[in-house]
Amino acid sequence: MTSTITSPTIIPYIKADLHTHTCASGHGTGDRITDMAREAARRSIELLGISDHGPATLGSADLSYFRSLILCERTRFGVELRYGAEANILDAGGALDIPDDILGNLDFCIISMHRPIYTSGSAAENTRAYIRAMRHKKVRFIGHCDDPRFPVDYRELVQASLSAGVMPELNNVSLLPDSYRKDCRAGAIKLLDTCAVLSCPIILSSDSHGHEHLGEVTEAVNLIQEVNFPETLIRNRNTARCTSTSLR
Ligand SMILES: [Zn+2]
Ligand SMILES: [Zn+2]
């Protein structure tokens, strides 16, 4: 039995999908890391980031799961694997639900605001919370900051991202017509416009819970094309650029 799966008929828009969830997130899927890697190979995704919800999410893995990720295989089915987390921002001070020492052993961290874990403040307060949450060097991405329930000052947030070497994502799930995050399109457009003006790189991500939507960024690509966002700023179009700039 071969350990490599190839599927030359599928050419994904992105080569790296860094925002994906396994059964360790506690909802949406029973898939394990192996199931995700197998599907990534089938879909010609070269670099797969596993980013399960931090422990403040009801039913998600506890800290020992994140502590143990360092022991997992770095390549499966020919796919490079990187292990991170979608950490929850807990408060206006930017505290995260994964302590610094455990974050330090991960490859990357996405910081996100979720209800009811984070209580939204004003745009200025939410922006400050994001910026404070960027202080750990493993924080590499901002998750779905297009959500109108958590308004932000995009200019200030993108400027701070550039300074910290953090990239906002364009989240495909936010843009789905039946998304559980409602009315994210206006925020996504503001985010893209600001990133284009300030030359801030971004990633596109599937936010797939399980293998089913892995690598799927169709809605995000449609929006990118609609607003003429420069493709050169999309870091995960190319695996090498992604690993050199976002997963160091
Ligand atoms: Zn999220
Ligand atoms: Zn997610």
Residues paired with residue 89 on neighbouring β-strands, in sequence order: 96
| Ligand closest to the CA atom of residue 19 | 2
| Ligand closest to the CA atom of residue 111 | 1
C-alpha 114/C-alpha 169 separation (Å) is 15
Is it the case that residue 114 has pLDDT exceeding 90? yes
| Ligand closest to the CA atom of residue 89 | 1
CB-based contact 205:17 (threshold 8 Å): yes
Return the CATH fold of 16-246.
TIM Barrel (3.20.20)
Confidence bin at 1 (pLDDT 50/70/90): very low
pLDDT of residue 2: 46
Is it the case that residue 75 has pLDDT exceeding 90? yes
Is it the case that residue 246 has pLDDT exceeding 70? yes
For the stretch 209-232, pLDDT in tens is: 999 999 999 999 999 999 999 999
* Distance of CA 174 from the midpoint of ligand 1 (Å): 9
pLDDT, the chain, mean = 94
C-alpha 164/C-alpha 41 separation (Å) is 32
| Ligand closest to the CA atom of residue 113 | 1
Is it the case that residue 59 has pLDDT exceeding 70? yes
* Distance of CA 130 from the midpoint of ligand 2 (Å): 16
Average pLDDT over residues 96-104: 98
* Domain boundaries of the chain, sorted by first residue: 16-246
User: How far from 175 is each of 64, 79, 89, 204, CA to CA, in Å?
Assistant: 33, 27, 22, 12
* Distance of CA 1 from the midpoint of ligand 1 (Å): 36
